[in-house]
Structure 1
Amino acid sequence: MSDIYTSILDTIGNTPIVRLARLSPAGIELYAKLEAFNPLGSVKDRLALGVIEAAERDGRLKPGQTVIEATSGNTGIGLAMVCARKGYPLVIVMAESFSVERRKLMRFLGAQVVLTPASEKGTGMVEKARELAATHGWFWTRQFENEANADIHSRTTAREILKAFGETGPDYFVTGAGTGGTLKGIARVLRAERPATQIVVAEPENTPMLASGIRQQYKSDGTPAESHPLFRPHPMMGWAPDFIPQLTADAIDTGLIDVIQPVGGSESLRLARELARQEGIFCGITGGATLAAALEVAKTAQQGSRILFMVPDTGERYLSTPLFESIEQEMNAAEKEISNSTPLCRFGVPTSQPAVAAAVAIEPAPDSARDFVEQAIKDPEQPVVMFALEWCEFCWAARRFLRDLGVAFRSVDLDSVPMQANGLGGDIRKVLHSVTGQRTIPQIFIGGAHIGGAVDLLDLHDRGELVTLLGKAGVAPAGDPTITARSYLPKWLAARSAT
């Protein structure tokens, strides 16, 4: 990349269009518009920039004002990026049923995330956003009926498509309805300038709200008055909330849709995986869903037809969803067979190399290190002390557990820069070995007594003995004493322990 940008927001748009090779039916050209190339990984980056800058231009959004939106996640992630760069506080309202990766991404970017009960569905999170905006005077972006959502797609996404496909345009354009912004914004440009292009809208087959012809009821401001009667839960996050957004209804009413194509949840999951495994395209569930719709279109399309389908986002924000449920964390039988085909670095097999460390003599530690350890262990002001490494998984597990339990503790990080000065950290490890007989880190002391490492600490709690031990040292946990301590172990260790 030769350009230098003044803002991350300048990198939004101009996403690639890629022709599929292995998944295209014979005689049909399938093309994917890869919106994961936006900086925060989804098509909703465009929406976020469009609605914020439109509100800045017309004065609805004031400097420093809090922004709020109800979203399944991708819009919230895009808004978190835009608001971070522009300096607006952001509150996101999201139903609890959407993936936890999305919550964490938004919070990582500085947003606050308010969850609503899954039973209240999309209309519930919209109403919560309305209530919070009215109560606190926040700017509500209203993605489902905000014309700025569609406008930015007319200005950017549609123009990118026309530039790529030239005078004739694609023969078919396939997208999900979503908020309606992508659909309305692109379809109206294609209808005006490439009228031969067929506009195909995909929706979950078990939720045929668009295909039913049953109109959505709206309030005077364009927000849904109630759930659509044909809504059913489905796996396509970002598609088909429990209402038809006003922007989608506009596309229907103005004749922008030629075909409504139902797609199955299982087929969408399968094709998202196939895009990764056969084309190297990593996408979320809706990418598989639009591919499913495109393949249905291809069954009746003329030979030589060019079908463009939207791939709205990346797969990384679906790790906790059914998309990844068949993906193992540990080695499967075939992978173990590969590992066992050579002698080195195998689980459950003694190493063929000599243990060099065992032959190295351990020199006595200087008195300064012994004094440090003794003072740390016996400090009455900090009866819980952990000798640790800054980035060790076991040390992090112990730290997180103690914090959640509400126990103040001192962490002596032996590999930190100050501890490495003059070799103090290494000398302390020698002292700890002579005191505990253990070489591993962390080593934890409570009230001057050595209790062991991270696993020992967690097991003490799960056996019901830790709180008593802490009490004897004058420490009263302020957190939840019912937490399961071993759940804090690294996932790879927890998985091995369970087998």
Structure 2
Amino acid sequence: MTRYISILETIGRTPLVRLDRLAPPDVNVYVKVEAFNPMGSVKDRMALAVIEAAERSGDLHPGQTVIEATSGNTGIGLAMVCARKGYPLVVTMAESFSLERRRLLRFLGARVVLTPAAEKGSGMLAKAIELADKHGYLLCRQFENEANAEVHSRTTAREILDDMQGEPIHAWVSGFGTGGTLKGVSRVLKAADPRIRIVVAEPDNAPLLGSGEAQPAGVSHPRFRPHLMQGWSPDFISPLTQQAVAAGVVDDVVPVAGEEALRLARELARKEGIFVGISAGATLAAALQVARRAPAGSHIVCMLPDTGERYQSTPLFEGIEDEMNEEELALSRSTPGCRFDTPAVTPVSQVVTPQEAVSDIEAERRLDDYLTQTPVVMFALAWCEFCWSARKLFDRLGVDYLSVDLDSPAYQAGDMGVRLRPVLARRCGAPTIPQIFIDGQSIGGCSELFEAWHDGSLGRHLAECGVAYDAEAIIDTELLLPTWLHPRSVTA
């Protein structure tokens, strides 16, 4: 199928991929790459199932707000589903989870209520319950909602069996998290072939299942400790997980160290080209332990829950630098062009031909017109990240300004945006964009604007021409630059 009525129809049917370089040579390890779901994780399946179950039961009414406690992936899936279906969404999340997850949720229109990290997963769940009770929100209850398990019985498990095409599966390996994937997949696989081993992985420093200790009611499990695998194991054994264990479908529990999870996530990217998160690396670590003990020719299926993109502010990306390392710098210097250590200088021509002079008369007039419209004028390009940075400073200061976006349709009549560039370059003595003027005087580009703010001259210029601004603002201009850009790259 190549055309879909809705993004929600693209959930599921994720690929099963055989590993070539990481698995033992005599054992077939297949990974279920759930990053192929539209929002990048296995939780997309559950998000759609929970919302549609609530719609069918009448528990969710048109326009009603949905709320859930989540480490991120469930919330991101719910945000997609709620956006498509028109339900407002509130997510409660412990402050310790990655910043990318919060931003993704808010980008999709959800509201994010943070809870103290010390109160762990049970704290964010308690907050969700409080908010649902007070405001009449629908609480998804992913940790106990049977729709969570049902969707994995109906889709994930069937996909695995169909893709294996009758080949015997020695073991299926997964984390447990909410318990939905574990309960839903295991019961179908066991029904299809009781010989399939169901292996559950968990953090070695938080052996909730491995300890054999029951989950106390309403409090954190006594064996829980904070760990690196976000969303892989909360501080309690969920009801869905307890039901799977009670049903006797779990054959083995494998502890995994956090450092091993990080290592395998990186190895998957660099040796197999599969980009996943920390929990996927942890699950693979357990699967490889199983593979090393499995008979030759065995088939092992391993769940990879999500993509690695939402882990950039976590230890998974430690050591991944924004700037060039010594090897990359040496490679850059091996050819003469486009180098930061020998920047090209673009001379600004002071000689204007007669043809240019005739063409520039209107451009000069237009430039002067813009400069008289308002005291603060920025000549910019809509796509330029340095222009965005300058705009951020003006916005933080509350400064009203005119932005002449030379590449926008509004300034392209008569090709004026192009014709203004050389006139502007001669006026400022520099060909770069942005160029900022205060009271008709050029103060330079983004770097000069930031310097003027720090040395106080920007404030004096604004005050002299009567432009209101927040003189008490405390602004770190480095944080206004593009995130990929180190400050010294600006001057290079």
AA aligned to 1:428 is: L
Q: 1:392 matched to which residue of 2?
A: 384
1:429 to 421, 432, 438: 421
1:402 aligns with 2:391: no
Per the TM alignment, residue 192 of structure 1 is displaced from its structure 2 partner at its CA by 2.1
Q: How does 1:289-438 map to 2 (within 5 A)?
A: 289-349=282-342, 361=352, 363-364=356-357, 366-379=360-373, 382-438=374-430
| Post-superposition CA distance 1:79-131 (Å, at most 9, x none) | 11111111111111222211122222222222222222222221121112112
* Equivalence map 1:64-463=2 (5 Å): 64-167=63-166, 169-218=168-217, 225-349=218-342, 361=352, 363-364=356-357, 366-379=360-373, 382-463=374-455
Provide the C-alpha distance between the structure 1 equivalents of 2:278 and 2:242, rounded to a whole number of angstroms. Answer: 24
Distance verdict in 2 for CA 1:495–1:176, change over 3 Å: farther
RMSD of aligned Cα (Å): 2.3
Tell me the residue number matched to 2:473: 481
Identity %: 58
CA contact (8 A) 1:162 1:169 kept: no
Task: Give SS of 1:119's match.
Answer: helix
Q: Is the 8 A contact 1:171 1:196 kept in 2?
A: yes
Counterparts of 1:22 and 1:334 in 2: how far apart (Å)? 26
- Partner AA of 2:427 in structure 1: V
The code of the aligned residue for 1:422 comes to: G
| Alpha-carbon spacing, 1:192–1:124, altered in 2? closer, same or farther (3 Å) | same
Aligned pairs, number: 488
In the aligned structure 2, how far is the partner of 1:397 from the partner of 1:493? Answer: 13
Structure 1 range deviating more: 227-236 or 72-81 = 227-236
Listed one character per residue, the Cα deviations across residues 389-437 of structure 1 (whole Å, up to 9, x for unaligned) are: 1111110110122112322222111121121211222333344334332
Q: Which amino acid aligns with 1:323?
A: L
* C-alpha contact (below 8 Å) 1:459/1:485 kept by paired residues: no
Contact 1:387 1:444 in 2 (8 A): yes
- Code of the aligned partner of 2:29: L
> 1:359 offset after TM fit, Å?
9.8
Distance 1:488 1:121 in 2: 32
CA, structure 1 residues 168+420, in 2 after alignment: closer, same or farther (shift >3 Å)? closer
Compute the displacement of 1:166 (Å). Answer: 4.0
Instruction: Quote how far apart the aligned CAs of 1:168 are.
Output: 5.7
Confirm or deny: 8 A CA contact 1:93 1:125 kept in the other structure: yes
2:33 is aligned with 1:41: no
State the secondary structure of the residue aligned to 1:260. strand
Tell me the secondary structure at the aligned position of residue 84 of structure 1.
Answer: helix
**Alpha carbons of structure 1 residues 479 and 94: separation in structure 2 relative to 1, 3 Å:** farther
SS in 1 for 2:224: coil
User: Matched residues in 1 for 2:350 and 2:456: separation?
Assistant: 40
1:28 matched residue in structure 2:
27
Task: State the secondary structure of the residue aligned to 1:212.
Answer: coil
Q: Match for 1:299: what amino acid?
A: R
Q: Which amino acid aligns with 1:145?
A: E
Go from structure 1 to structure 2 and tell me whether the alpha carbon gap of 1:157 and 1:350 turns closer, same or farther (over 3 Å shift).
closer
Counterpart of 1:466?
458
Q: Secondary structure of the residue that 1:270 maps to in structure 2?
A: helix
- Give per-residue Cα distances to partners, 1:197-232, cap 9 Å, x unaligned: 1111111111111111222233xxxxxx12222222
CA–CA distance in structure 2, aligned partners of residues 336 and 466 of structure 1:
36
Question: What is the rounded CA distance, in whole Å, between the counterparts of 1:84 and 1:154 in structure 2?
Answer: 26
User: How far apart are residue 449 of structure 1 and its match?
Assistant: 3.4
Aligned-partner residue type, residue 380 of structure 2: A
Distance 1:40 1:479, change over 3 A: farther
8 Å contact 1:462–1:486 — kept in the other structure?
A: no
Q: Secondary structure at the match of 2:92?
A: strand
2:459–2:471: 8 Å Cα contact kept in structure 1? no
Equivalent residue, structure 2, for 1:222: none
8 Å CA contact 2:348, 2:425 repeated in 1:
no
- Per-residue deviation at 1:180? 0.6
Q: What is the alpha-carbon distance in structure 2 between the residues aligned to residue 374 and residue 359 of structure 1?
A: 19
Q: Does the C-alpha gap of structure 1 residues 141 and 470 become closer, same or farther in structure 2, counting only changes over 3 Å?
A: same
Length-normalised TM-score, structure 2: 0.93
Opposite residue 402 of structure 1, the aligned amino acid is F
**1:360 Cα deviation (Å)?**
8.1
Q: Is the 8 A contact 2:378 2:435 kept in 1?
A: yes
Aligned counterparts of 2:65 and 2:470: Cα–Cα separation in 1? 33
1:8 positional shift: 1.2
Deviation at 1:66, TM superposition (A): 1.2
Q: SS where residue 492 of structure 1 aligns?
A: coil
Task: Indicate conservation of the 8 Å contact 1:228/1:243, yes or no.
Answer: yes
1:494 is matched by which residue type in structure 2? P
Rate the CA distance shift 1:138–1:307 in 2: closer, same or farther, 3 A.
same
When residues 340 and 370 of structure 1 are mapped into structure 2, their CA distance, relative to the original with a 3 A threshold, is closer
Native 8 Å contact 1:168 1:194 kept in 2: no
- How far residue 65 of structure 1 moved from its aligned partner, in angstroms, is 1.0
Check the 8 A contact 1:370/1:431 in 2, yes or no.
Answer: yes
Conservation of the 8 A alpha-carbon contact between 2:447 and 2:490: no
Separation (CA, whole Å) in 1 of partners of 2:38 and 2:343: 46
Task: Work out the CA distance in 2 between the residues paired with 1:144 and 1:193.
Answer: 25
Tell me by how many angstroms 1:289 deviates.
0.5
Pick closer, same or farther for the CA change 1:498–1:438 going to 2, 3 Å. closer
- The structural deviation recorded for 1:350 is 6.1
Q: Post-superposition shift, 1:355?
A: 6.5
Aligned CA distance change for structure 1 residues 298 and 360 (closer, same or farther; 3 Å) = farther
Give the 3 Å change call, closer, same or farther, for CA 493–298 of structure 1 in structure 2: closer
SS of residue matched to 2:39: coil
The code of the aligned residue for 1:414 comes to L
- Over residues 350-379 of structure 1, what are the superposed CA-to-partner deviations in whole Å (9 max), with x where a residue is unaligned? 66xx97985985623644433333333233
Deviates most, 406-415 or 469-478: 469-478
